[in-house]
Amino acid sequence: MSRGETHMSDGATLERAARREAPAADLPPTLRRNAALVPTDTSAGRALAAVIAILTFLAALCAGGAEIVASSAAQWQGSVAQEVTIQIRPGPGRDTEADVAKAAALAAATPGIAATRPFTKAESERLLEPWLGSGLDLGDLPVPRLITVRLSGTPDLGALRQRLAEALPGVASLDDHALWLSRLSTMANTVVGVGVAVVGLVLLATGLAVTFATRGAMAGNREVVEVLHFVGADADFIAREFQRRFFRLGLRGGAIGAVAALAVIGAGGALARLWRAGPAGDEIEALFGGFAIGWRGYASVVLIGVIASVVTAVVSRLTVRRFLD
């Protein structure tokens, strides 16, 4: 071998060694930018995006439903907390009408009471129709009389209860609906907690789906990964490539799922407004309130879409690093 050929062979050897030791940032632009490790426009990528969209849609619906329940419960609690009820029980030898008038006068004289409304005997009997049926003669039954008291501030209900007990012992009782409000709050908190748990499970399922998809992509691109390692690409570079591709998939699926959930919630609100114009409007409004999730509900739906994208990116990166290590 001549001296020139020897120099050419040594130069080629040094060039290959330098290429193997070159960092990922010094790779040729065509390798770093144009050659995608994980192409997103594939059947597997579209399937993963569809799975993320479905899971995001379900999680967003759960979050929206929990927000509707929470807002409706808050409206119910606000409405109930503005009223208390005085019950007058008929007794032998007592003038029930006089007892009702006396209890109403005591309530009206209490600071913080806006108005009182005694129920008539006929109105009190109609309250029993859902349990006893209509058309019954309840004239001989000792049906209690009710007085609704509307609050305008924070009256001293304990003092009012004491005055009623002194003026009408064994006859009048004050109900501030505290037990019912406590049960309603417990129910609303339980529904919200279940909604949050379901959202967490859906995001966990998203992470598992991304884990399997990333492993499949790594297995399908094993030769490309080995070549990148051979030319000097480190694990961080390869992980960033997978993270970038899967983040795009997650962003696409999360956006589709969030938009679909917002469309369903908006359609539900439109149907609720349409039904409220019908005969059953009062019942629907009493059950679902305004069927509106408000800005907090919309923000939670959008946040779930963003979280799904971030979970997809983070899980793919961690999976690649574990696979390479």
* Model confidence at 24: pLDDT above 70: no
* C-alpha torsion angle, residues 238, 244, 250, 256 (rounded to 10): -150
Angle at 183 between CA 285 and CA 133, to 5 degrees: 60
When the pLDDT of each residue in the chain is averaged and rounded to a whole number, the result is 76
Asked if residue 193 has pLDDT above 80, the reply is yes
**Mean pLDDT value of segment 64-83:** 79
Q: Residue 26 above 50 pLDDT?
A: no
Q: Give residue 133's pLDDT.
A: 66
Give the model confidence (pLDDT) of 269-301 as tens digits: 777 777 766 555 556 565 555 566 778 888 888
Give the confidence band of 199 by pLDDT, cuts at 50, 70, 90.
confident
**Tokens coding 210:** 């991304």
pLDDT score at 36: 57
Question: Quick one: pLDDT at residue 23?
Answer: 45
Facing residues of 174 across strands?
A: 86
Residue-range domain boundaries for the chain: 28-77+182-324, 90-170
Please give the pLDDT value at position 151: 86
pLDDT band at 13 (very low <50, low <70, confident <90, very high): very low
Prediction pTM value: 0.66
Q: Which residues contact 57 (CB under 8 A, 6 or more apart)?
A: 256, 257, 258, 260, 261
Average pLDDT over residues 12-37: 44
